[in-house]
Structure 1
Amino acid sequence: MTVMASYNMVNGLHVVNNYDLLGKVLRNEWGFKNMVMSDWDSMKCKPGEPESPLTGNVQIAQANQMDLVCPGRDDQKVAVLNGLKSGKVKRSDLERSATRILRMIRANTEVPMRV
């Protein structure tokens, strides 16, 4: 099972960047251990791109329990790498997300994989 975070804002924060919803409620209170993915193209990461109620921040999302950013454009990848270099994105958060993604793949494939 996976969860897709929506485009909208809750209490002034984009759902993809909302630790209260993704971390505290979904992960801690409800015990959800699987992958959380963004809604398609709901992540802001282009330099100078204006803020929009339809976009979250790809660097903030990693720390707030978002595992998979869709669609995975080149600028989104660069934003994550830049965040890693600057310290805004933690390697441990990326490793946690990678583990969840690999578990989802393993659970949905016929070929056994070790994670």
Structure 2
Amino acid sequence: MSQILSSPARRLLVVLGALVLAAVAFSRAKDGVEASREAFAGKDMVWPLTVERGKLGCSNGNAVWFRADDGVTYAVNIPAAVRFPKIDPIRISDHAADHTVTMNDLIDEGLKLC
């Protein structure tokens, strides 16, 4: 095939391929990916929310958000709090121990989408 396509044509194909991959990655982060208690448990990760599932995403390079099935989008980390409300209403808390469950796994998974 390299004999069929000229050097400029090969470069064009490489650039187009890179653009397609970038568009797919951007769309995935922008729209979010499915996240659930079950999926986190399967990876030995902590699910810190009272809801069973939703969409996890990232915008602006490091703003991790979670969209619950009821359509409300919450800030998972501080950078996302500029745009979205705090996730506290759906965050698991241990009232007896007076603390909340760690958000680290959810934040880490969200940052992978950035």
| TM-score (norm. length: structure 2) | 0.30
Point out the structure with max Rg over C-alpha: 2
Q: Which has the higher strand share?
A: 2
Higher RCO (CA-CA < 8 Å; seq separation 6+): 1
